[in-house]
Amino acid sequence: MALSPGARADALVLGAGLMGRLLAWELARRGWRVDLYEAGSAQAEGAAARVAAAMLAPLAESALAELPVVRMGLHGLQRWPQLLAALPAPVYFQQQGTLLVWHRQDAAEAQRLAAIFARTAAALPALAPAQPLDAAALAAAEPALAGRYACGLLLPGEGQLDNRALLDALLLALQAQAAAGRVRLHWHSPRTPAQALAEGGAGRVFDCRGLGARAQWPQLRGVRGEVVRLHAPGVVLQRPTRLLHPRYPIYLAPKPAGLVVVGATEIESEDLSPASVRSVLELLGAAYALHPGLAEARIVEIATQARPALPDNLPALAIDACGLRVNGLYRHGYLVAPALLDAVVEWAETGRLALAQMLGLPVQAET
């Protein structure tokens, strides 16, 4: 049944960042009538999902993240190709692994990480274990780094996608659903769950507003991240590469058209002012240390954003009288989003949380 202007929606989705777009699109595909409310514009300028490298690296993230995030990431690696195939526009997706390299002085840290990766792979047998590379194998895997590093670690099967192309493709899909009468899109329309229910009738509310939901979820905090986008057509990397760094893990994620995303700082702050000189120097210094050819790259963008995080840095669902809240994606948004999507849809259609329980996704039930 199409949504007429005065019709009541089955689902009221708040927030049109990554999670809100995915959920509104998927519910509409399943026959739900959806109202999507977003405080900003259709371009998602203020969404944390826009300032990201969109790496899908569960084993690499296990260096800092707990096993539930790794499980959700493994689920996401399997689901992203299916989701992307259903979109009306192509989205760059690559699954050639993650490469970890280091300088001689950081060999002890590399050994520590290798031990963590081994424990993670043992705990999750579906996860391919890290593969040690000597200089020759490293040169074969990543020719641009030949002769620069004595050894490395390849984390097979890990991937990445183009986050901005994905947000744009989801927008196209939602606009097509709106034209077909299955979705109503409300841009520049901030709503609380109570306001959405008052306007939209008896539908269920799915609150995906990130930090915008803090009034309903006071434990949320912002974690500032800074990302540099470079145009470096002369340095061709085959896969995301992480360079061990004494302060934080630096990654370089190659994107189409010669772009390279360099990130990311992680600062306990919600400050959204421009990046500091120190952060930019560290990011660019690490990029140059990885490959001196990046000295000739052109800086396309230096972006900052605050990512929503809960006290344990795990994503979570919360069920209340209005519906369901999805939040706390932290630095793992693209990694865990398909798992969250599938868990929310399962709850919406069956009332069960079997997938959430299997993955270790925290769920709060509020009365």
Q: What's the pLDDT tens digit per position in 172-197?
A: 999 999 999 999 999 999 999 999 99
Question: CB within 8 A of 102, min separation 6: which ones?
Answer: 109, 110, 149, 152, 243, 244
19 is a domain residue: yes
Residue 245 has a pLDDT of 73
289 is a domain residue: yes
Q: What mean pLDDT is predicted for residues 142-161?
A: 96
Residue 199 has a pLDDT of 85
203: CATH: 3.50.50.60
237 and 304 fall within a common domain: yes
211 and 346 fall within a common domain: yes
Residue 222 has a pLDDT of 97
* In contact, 66 and 315? CB cutoff 8 Å: no
336 is a domain residue: yes
81 is a domain residue: no
243 and 135 fall within a common domain: yes
Q: What mean pLDDT is predicted for residues 61-65?
A: 93
Residue 353, domain extent: 11-50+163-219+312-365
277: CATH: 3.30.9.10
- The DSSP call for residue 276 is P
Q: Minimal CA–CA distance to 186: which of 198, 194, 176, 174?
A: 174
233 and 279 fall within a common domain: yes
CA distance linking residue 140 with residue 304, whole number of Å? 35
108 and 210 fall within a common domain: no
167 and 294 fall within a common domain: no
Higher pLDDT, 364 or 1: 364
Q: Which domain-ending residue is among 309, 333, 350?
A: 309
The pLDDT-based confidence of 359 (bands split at 50, 70, 90) is very high
Residue 227 has a pLDDT of 93
User: At CA 338, angle to CA 348 and CA 321, rounded to 5?
Assistant: 30
Residue 212 has a pLDDT of 96
Range in 78-92, 143-157, 255-269 with the lowest mean pLDDT = 255-269
Residue 345 has a pLDDT of 97
User: For 256-301, what is each residue's pLDDT tens digit?
Assistant: 999 999 987 788 999 999 999 998 998 999 899 899 999 999 999 9
228 and 212 fall within a common domain: no
Q: What mean pLDDT is predicted for residues 100-111?
A: 92
Residue 247 has a pLDDT of 66
302 and 176 fall within a common domain: no
Give the chain's domain count.
2
112 and 129 fall within a common domain: yes
Residue 286 has a pLDDT of 87
